[in-house]
Chain A
Amino acid sequence: MTDPSRLLDPEALGDHLDRLYRAAWALCGRREDAEDLVQETYARVLAKPRRLRGDDDLRYLLSVLRNTFVSRHRTAARRPQTVPVPEDRELADRRTATRPDAAAEAHEVFAYIAALPDDFRDALVAVDVAGLSYAEAALLLGTKEATITSRLHRARARVARGMDPDREGVL
């Protein structure tokens, strides 16, 4: 019987870097933390050969990213917190953003997602930020697709209201 599993190709990991970086940013809320988180995730994955089934490299990488985030979060919670300097906002992804105002908005959106309750945040990160399907997100988060759908709807609404609170009064 043939083994349907295959080794994860380290050379192909770069294909997922943008998605992982966005997911990490939305988890951490800070660009600098996101870079560290992605680097640590890749370091873990590359530490030894990984055998996967199917072609779900991204879901596997996201699961490692999330586990790494949770682990770091627990550790960080036991340390004094550093306060980001105001200049951080000016540095937001300036090498890839095409408009400074857009970069600032992305910064705010990711920071807002990071501040959501964990279940809402994780659903948004999996589907809207990383691009998984509802089914893949359900597998990743160990829940039902219907739950993902519900959490997404409520989380998106929270983001909109948090980012643009004045608009609620217009309706």
Chain B
Amino acid sequence: MSDGTGMNPPEPPPERDSRDDEAAERGRAMIAAAVAQTRAPLTLRERIAADAAGRDRPGRPARRRRFAWPAGALATALAAVAIAFVLASGGGGPTAVAVAQAAQAGPTHGAPPVDSSHQDLLARAVDGVPFPDWSGHFSWRASGERSDTIEGRTTRTVFYSGPSGAHAAYTIVSGNALGVPAGARARTVHGVELHVARGGAGQVVTWERNGHTCVMTAPASVPTSRLLELAAWDGGGTVPY
């Protein structure tokens, strides 16, 4: 600022220490990197969901069922997913998205029992391809099942619920494998090739087991990495692929 005499030059602003600016920028970048690589662990999600589930008590006004199968919402989401799968064909039979949409109608029966003679399997199978029992390893439990016939193919779907309240529908399609979805992203987990499509609030994973197509459908809130891990899990060899 001038002193008003017109004789002295204005006082220069205090010089900013360039080392401070450089350090601040480095600090910002370090923090950004730490933030980018950090996500809440699944154990925390599960703990919070368990707490939330415990708050539902008889006598209280009924809350919306937290993990009720969101048929309408997910069906809408699947319309977006269908874009990725729309080119799926070539193996004959229904498309993966048709299979997934059928599963959205929700379970018609209760949870299938565990196979008492085979650890890590449920007592349900399609053409000899059994459904896994994830309760021991992942704490995901079978919660219901349904069966459909789509374009001449029988499908059986088992519904699973995770400890955090996440849920997924696992369908095995009878007969030969369906065509590989052309628009989906390919991933390989534990040697199993999977195809993933996401859209809106839903996601669909397809893969093959013993020449049969499996389709898993879940809300987008379920980490895709978790779905892939579940899909590719072989129980140390007890779940046939």
Contacts and interface: CB of A to CB of B under 8 A. Distances in A.
Given A11-B64, A160-B24, A160-B27, A46 B55 contact: yes
A171 B18 CA distance: 10
B46 to A, nearest CB: 10
Contact of B20 (A21, A22, A128, A157): A157
A48 to B, nearest CB: 10
Contacts of A103: 37
Given A38-B48, A156-B23, A106 B28 contact: no
Contact of A157 (B27, B42, B51): B27
B23 A17 contact: no
Interface residues of A, number: 47
Contacts of A124: 31
Interface string A6-22: 00001100100110111
Interface of A: 10-11, 14, 17-18, 20-22, 25, 35, 38-39, 42-43, 46-47, 93, 95-99, 102-103, 105-106, 109-110, 113, 124, 128-129, 152-161, 163-164, 167-168, 171
B109 interface: no
A97 B23 contact: no
Contacts of A42: 48, 51-52
Given A97-B38, A156-B31, A171-B19, A38 B44 contact: yes
A109 B38 CA distance: 11
B62 interface: no
Interface string B18-48: 0111111111101111110111111111011
Given A156-B23, A157-B20, A168-B23, A14 B30 contact: no
Given A14-B221, A17-B48, A105-B33, A128 B38 contact: no
Contact of B32 (A128, A157, A160, A168): A128
Interface of B: 19-28, 30-35, 37-45, 47-48, 51-52, 55, 63-64, 66, 221
Contacts of B43: 35, 95
Contacts of A21: 38-41, 44
Contacts of A158: 27
Contacts of A171: 19, 22
A18 B20 CA distance: 30
A156 B26 CA distance: 8
Pick the most buried of B28, B31, B33, B64: most chain A CB atoms within 10 A of its CB. B31
A163 B52 CA distance: 38
Given A22-B38, A124-B31, A156-B28, 18 more contacts: A17-B40, A20-B40, A35-B41, A38-B44, A38-B48, A39-B44, A39-B51, A46-B52, A46-B55, A95-B41, A96-B39, A99-B37, A106-B33, A129-B31, A157-B24, A161-B23, A171-B19, A171-B22
A109 B31 contact: yes
Contacts of A128: 28, 31-32, 35
A159 B31 contact: yes
A156 B40 contact: no
Contact of A163 (B20, B30, B40): B30
